């Protein structure tokens, strides 16, 4: 099973709302990622969690707040977003670690389509 599950699939929110995106994997992967993807563009890395600790923050605005409650779950809390934040938000996971040919393979979820009004 190489499934990364994201909920919700679609989200519409106003600029004053607070919402959360959820990501779950049960592959025992130790690294989890949030990406943002605009139409006809490649995914852009936002955050990386490694062994439940934030290891990379790509200078993302503070209105996006990641959280890793345990090794299987990754949340992205959204607050006071702007219309330009409308995009497909993708979660991914990889085995991680220093050993093994498959350590780098990132498995992506289907994404949450976010619209900010």
Partner 1 sequence: QQQVKQSPQSLIVQKGGISIINCAYENTAFDYFPWYQQFPGKGPALLIAIRPDVSEKKEGRFTISFNKSAKQFSLHIMDSQPGDSATYFCAASPGPFGNEKLTFGTGTRLTIIP
Q: Catalog residues that contact partner 1 under the rule CB under 8 A.
A: 4, 6, 30-31, 40-43, 45, 48, 50, 55-56, 58, 90, 92, 94-98, 100-101, 103-111, 113
DSSP bridge partners of 74: 23
Cβ proximity to partner 1: between 58 and 77 the closer is 58
Please name the residue that has the structure tokens 């852009």: 44
**Shortest distance (Å) from residue 116 CB to partner 1:** 19
**Shortest distance (Å) from residue 42 CB to partner 1:** 4
* Contact by Cβ (8 Å): 75, 87: no
Percentages helix, strand, coil for the chain, rounded to the nearest 5?
Answer: 5, 55, 45
Cβ proximity to partner 1: between 15 and 54 the closer is 54
Cβ proximity to partner 1: between 60 and 80 the closer is 60
User: For residue 2, which of 109, 97, 103 has the smallest C-alpha distance?
Assistant: 109
């Amino acid at each position: 099973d190489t499934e990364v599950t994201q909920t919700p699939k679609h989200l519409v929110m106003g600029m004053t709302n607070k919402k959360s995106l959820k990501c779950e994997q049960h592959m025992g992967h130790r690294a989890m990622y949030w990406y943002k993807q605009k139409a006809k563009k490649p995914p852009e890395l936002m955050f990386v969690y490694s062994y439940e600790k934030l290891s990379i923050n790509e200078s993302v605005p503070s209105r996006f707040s990641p959280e890793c409650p345990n090794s299987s779950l990754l949340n992205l809390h959204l607050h006071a977003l702007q219309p330009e934040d409308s995009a497909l938000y993708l979660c991914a996971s990889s085995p991680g670690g220093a050993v093994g040919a498959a350590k780098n393979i990132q498995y992506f979820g289907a994404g949450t389509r976010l619209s900010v009004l």
